[in-house]
Structure 1
């Protein structure tokens, strides 16, 4: 059973209109360590940014947001205007260059092609009209965030099902390792004892061989690692059933799972047990890839 997992990947688009203005919000999100922000707003509407950030923090916990707002006036072309300050600056720079090198004077079309010299003219709006338009934009932006959160939850449900299946596989492989006769302390001790006898035939007293074999068998015992793997699987299922952001907790749990699998592989004295350990590492890597996208 999975709870309300959310992905950090999603998209939403909202169109709206207010008092002769038409606008489109597009909101995308991808993975992020925290709640990161990139917004492209029309000139003159940068004041919306702080309120937008505050609203996003109320609805989302993690992810890198890319937000775009397209705003157009209905039924008329506002035309273009010259940015006098940018033009004066460009002319002054050209005059400095002409003092150093001989060159032709600038042409009008060349100056107008410079970035920032010509820009779209803005219709004059009263303060009341601007405030009303900004309020409508923020209402629509809130709807866009709700749409994004819904898209992230839908993807989170699918990811939760994948993660649940992967935890089932880890549980099965852990059970396979526990059932492997080569993992039993007695089997480990007998195998090590036989290897020592073959290597040290007659060179070491029998009781010393038994003592060394027992010590090596204890070091090769993987029961604690298997117990911890089982415990981590239970913790993972509890996180999947939990509401709210759990991505960081799942990421930490994945590191713990990987640590136990690595230890299992390093301790394994049998090829079959080592194979199980490698299969565990492969599935845990798949879990890690999924978890990177969980909010």
Structure 2
């Protein structure tokens, strides 16, 4: 399965002739139905809808569609209905004018101070009637499915870029771990020699003189204790294990963002421990470089579904 990002955008429009409610309508303006979906990262699936009143009843169906296709992310779906022929004005039918006049008289009988309908409001109501809500309902879901498909494709492309970046960082972390392992025996040998040199000075022995056997034993004991304190083999082993698991998840794909986030936390913990055991500037540098790479991975993992 591919790796999906939670970030994406898609939109589509569909044009069609209006379905006039009255047969004696003189003007039949065409109209355009538009849908756009924006998605950003979020811990859970958070859906928001911005629909015109004519399409409000379709929100449950749209929610079901998005829930079936998306797992995580803050997703906003917007729908709009626009007239294509901006040069024409819908002409109200006589039957519509009669209904509006009747409703207005009834309202003003109860509310004498109510404002009469304006010409603009009558034209708007006429346009809404001529557009045909039933036809819009039939067009909405197929168009929404098309936009969701495009959104998934955009999220897949972004997910592929994120996965490529993570693979690159994984290779850099493995290279740093490979640099750290040989340093420990080298530092242990340096510490053993340093202890022997100080022991010579303390006993005021001449160069080339044989040290007492106790001094040799003490040097080995100190070197062993030092090796235990700075041994990072266990941390490197766990770090490699986490890197292997991340590579396995990226290859498997699917819904893996939360698991990757946990593994990134574990990587950061091992890099911190490596730094705390550092006995030389070189190991400290490796630890810092690791934490920089891990933080870069954390930022990108936050966008993976």
Equivalent residue, structure 2, for 1:15: 13
Task: Give 3-state SS (helix, strand or coil) of 1:44's partner.
Answer: helix
Equivalent residue, structure 1, for 2:178: 175
Q: Give the unaligned 5+ runs of structure 2.
A: 19-30, 92-99, 204-213
- 1:46 matched to 2:53? The reply is no
Instruction: State which of 54, 63, 87 in structure 1 corresponds to 2:73.
Output: 63
Q: Distance in 1 between matches of 2:300 and 2:270?
A: 19
* Cα offset, 1:144, TM superposition: 0.5
Task: Give 3-state SS (helix, strand or coil) of 1:45's partner.
Answer: helix
Q: Distance in 2 between matches of 1:197 and 1:271?
A: 25
Decide which structure has the larger Cα Rg and report it: 2
Equivalent residue, structure 1, for 2:95: none
CA deviations 1:24-70 (Å, max 9, x no partner) are 11111111111111211002322221211111111111111122111
- Output the aligned Cα RMSD: 3.7
Q: Distance in 1 between matches of 2:64 and 2:272?
A: 43
Equivalent residue, structure 2, for 1:156: 159
* Cα offset, 1:211, TM superposition: 5.0
Q: Distance in 2 between matches of 1:8 and 1:42?
A: 26
Q: Distance in 2 between matches of 1:176 and 1:264?
A: 13
Equivalent residue, structure 2, for 1:124: 129
* Cα offset, 1:249, TM superposition: 1.2
Equivalent residue, structure 2, for 1:187: 189
CA deviations 1:173-210 (Å, max 9, x no partner) are 00011122x35684386278569979x99xxx967786
* Cα offset, 1:14, TM superposition: 0.5
**Taking structure 1 as the reference length, what is the TM-score of the superposition?**
0.75
Residue 265 of structure 1 contacts residue 277 of structure 1 at CA under 8 Å; is this kept in 2?
yes
CA deviations 1:46-101 (Å, max 9, x no partner) are 2221211111111111111122111134545469x9xx99xx99x89xxxxxxxxx
Mapping of 1:219-238 within 5 angstroms? 219-238=229-248
Mapping of 1:83-98 within 5 angstroms? none
Q: Describe the shift of the 1:247–1:193 C-alpha distance in structure 2 as closer, same or farther (beyond 3 A).
A: farther
Mapping of 1:187-266 within 5 angstroms? 187=189, 190=192, 214-266=224-276
- 1:27 matched to 2:29? The reply is no
Task: Give 3-state SS (helix, strand or coil) of 1:286's partner.
Answer: helix
Aligned length: 259
Q: Describe the shift of the 1:244–1:77 C-alpha distance in structure 2 as closer, same or farther (beyond 3 A).
A: farther
* Cα offset, 1:6, TM superposition: 1.2
Q: Describe the shift of the 1:277–1:72 C-alpha distance in structure 2 as closer, same or farther (beyond 3 A).
A: same
Q: Distance in 2 between matches of 1:56 and 1:132?
A: 22
Residue 32 of structure 2 contacts residue 81 of structure 2 at CA under 8 Å; is this kept in 1?
yes
- 1:270 matched to 2:290? The reply is no
Q: Distance in 1 between matches of 2:41 and 2:89?
A: 39
Q: Describe the shift of the 1:8–1:210 C-alpha distance in structure 2 as closer, same or farther (beyond 3 A).
A: same
Stretch of structure 1 that moved more, 188-197 or 46-55: 188-197
